[in-house]
Amino acid sequence: MMKLMCSVLVAAAFIAAIASPSEAAIGCGAVVSYLKPCLPYLTGKGPLGECCGGINGLYGSAKTTPDKQSVCNCLKSLASSYPDADLDKAAGLPGQCGVNIPYTISPSTDCSEVQ
What pLDDT sits at residue 23?
Answer: 54
- Please give the Cα distance from 112 to 73 (Å, whole number): 9
The rounded distance, in Å, linking the Cα atoms of 54 and 18 is 21
How does pLDDT run across 1-28, given as a tens digit for each residue?
444 333 333 344 444 444 444 455 789 9
Whole-angstrom distance, CA of residue 89 vs CA of residue 76? 14
pLDDT value, residue 51: 95
Q: What is the CATH number of domain 2-113?
A: 1.10.110.10
